[in-house]
Amino acid sequence: MSIQTTEFNLPGATAVYHGKVRDVYTIKDEILVMVASDRISAFDVILPRPIPFKGQVLNQIAAYFLDATKDIAPNWLISTPDPRVAIGYKCEPVKVEMVIRGYMSGHAAREYKSGKRTICGVAMPEGMKENDRFPEPIITPTTKAAAGHDEDISREEILRTGLVSESDYMVMEDYTRKLFARGTEMAAKQGLILVDTKYEFGLLDGKVVLMDEIHTPDSSRYFILDGYQERQAAGAHQKQLSKEFVREWLIENGFMGKEGQTVPAMSDEWIKTISDRYIELYEHVTGKRFVPVLNSLSEIEKNILLGLSSL
Residue ranges of domains in the chain, CATH in brackets: 13-90+276-309 (3.30.200.20), 92-242 (3.30.470.20)
Report the amino acid identity of residue 245.
Answer: F
Which pLDDT tens digit goes with each residue over 181-220?
999 999 999 999 999 999 999 999 999 999 989 998 778 9
pLDDT, residue 146, reads: 58
Does pLDDT of 129 surpass 60? yes
pLDDT classification of 147: cutoffs 50, 70, 90: low
pTM above 0.85, yes or no: yes
Are residues 217 and 57 in contact, defined by beta-carbon separation less than 8 angstroms? Answer: yes
| Per-residue confidence band for 244, with pLDDT thresholds at 50, 70 and 90 | confident
Q: Of all helices (H) and strands (E), which one includes residue 3?
A: none
Question: Strand runs (DSSP E) across 83-228, as ranges?
Answer: 85-89, 92-103, 118-119, 122-123, 133-139, 142-143, 192-204, 207-211, 220-224
DSSP state of 306: H
Assign 290 a pLDDT band (cuts: 50, 70, 90). Answer: very high
- pLDDT on residue 148: 55
Which is nearest to 18 in space by CA: 41, 35, 40? 35
pLDDT in tens, 76-109: 999 999 999 999 999 999 999 999 999 999 999 9
- Picking from 200, 244, 217, 197, the residue whose alpha carbon sits closest to that of residue 60 is 217
